[in-house]
Amino acid sequence: MKKIRLFLLIVVWSFLMAGCVDLTTSNQEKPFKLESMRVHFLNVGQGNAVFIEGGEGQTLLYDVGGDGDVGKQIVDYIQKCGYESLDVMVISHPHADHMNGAPYILEKIKVHAVYHPKVTHTTQLFEDFVQGVKKANLSLKPVKAGMEIPFGNMQVKVLGPCSDYYEGLNDYSVVLQVKDEHFSVLLTGDIEALAEEEVISSGKDLHADVLQVPHHGSSSSSTQDFLQKVNPKYSILSLAADNKYGHPHKEVMERLVKLDTEILRTDEQGTIVASYQGDALVIETEKGIQTPNMDKKYIDEKTGQGLIKGNKNSKVYHMPEGAHYDSVKEDNVIWFQTEREAVNAGYRRSKR
Ligand SMILES: [Zn+2]
């Protein structure tokens, strides 16, 4: 896989309402054969919900939490994609922002298997979830590193949790490596540095083409070592704009920028869909994109200095070809290598 050049192909996916847009197969009945798996990172506000369609029409939901009526939003989305049932639901860990849609989903559509780490939580929501599983005539399947979740022609490897006990719930998060013959995705819930270290120590190959960046981009997660081991072509952050946690944290964005990965965020791009089309990994987004250029490096090759010029006074930054590039007073200049660096430092782009 490493030698195959996955050229960047971003398709702006324009539609008026949030929903599944099936560009190639809209007239076919499901289940059908897709060219590859399709991985949908749903825009659920501050939370996480990833819907995966396999090549044979098998379906998996990883996390079902977020803002508002998220359970209904997810069911509507799945139905728009042409499915009336779900083969597998995996809840990474029992925090509301990863599972508050679960009771609704279990009530509304047939779910065939529900996986959860071996831990409980004291909330009413967790109780409702357990009841929902029972009412659906299912039992919660515990997940542990080393397992594989059966999923048709695809490989769904469980890389975490590695231990039986953690102090915080986040580190219990189920880590899944999902692969078909074309590309791979690593789903990480809210694992923090400790669980990341364990996954690395397990010696498994962590590489994935697409990474769900752990814990909404929190600085407690995404160690440089972990990110390097995964070495994703695309890094996807699931979060709400202006969330109260300050996600994504600046340190994580800086580490990602160093990694030479395309950063995509549900708060900026809306729902993000990864699939393989023709001979390329294609990323489709709901709102259009700014990011690929955001991470383009502007560097003076001799000195290594960034060429994007910020004005410390006005907090505006100017691109090298910008009309006011040369008019910033020297005392006020701060240099950035990428637009994302500038934006993360609180600067906005000059209009000209
Ligand atoms: Zn979370």
pLDDT value of residue 344: 81
Hey, what CATH class is 9-289 in? alpha beta
Cα 198 to ligand 1 centre (Å): 19
Answer whether 327's CB lies under 8 Å from 303's CB: no
Give the integer Cα–Cα distance in Å for 139 and 211.
29
- Give me the amino acid identity at 125: L
Q: Which helix (H) or strand (E) holds 292?
A: helix 291-294
pLDDT value of residue 340: 77
Cα 209 to ligand 1 centre (Å): 22
- The residue with tokens 């010029």 is 309
Give the integer Cα–Cα distance in Å for 317 and 251.
20
pLDDT value of residue 322: 80
Answer whether 95's CB lies under 8 Å from 170's CB: yes
DSSP state of 18: S
Answer whether 239's CB lies under 8 Å from 266's CB: yes
Cα 174 to ligand 1 centre (Å): 12
pLDDT value of residue 350: 77
Cα 155 to ligand 1 centre (Å): 25
Distances (CA, A) of 249 to 61, 220, 222, 256, 293: 26, 9, 10, 11, 20
- The residue with tokens 């009412």 is 135
pLDDT value of residue 288: 62
pLDDT value of residue 24: 38
Can you give the pTM of this predicted structure? Answer: 0.77
Residues of the chain with pLDDT below 70 are: 1-33, 288-294, 351-352
Cα 215 to ligand 1 centre (Å): 5
Cα 147 to ligand 1 centre (Å): 23
Answer whether 275's CB lies under 8 Å from 38's CB: yes
Domain boundaries, the chain: 9-289, 308-349
Cα 248 to ligand 1 centre (Å): 12
Give the integer Cα–Cα distance in Å for 250 and 244.
15
pLDDT value of residue 352: 67
Other beta carbons less than 10 A from residue 273's beta carbon: 22
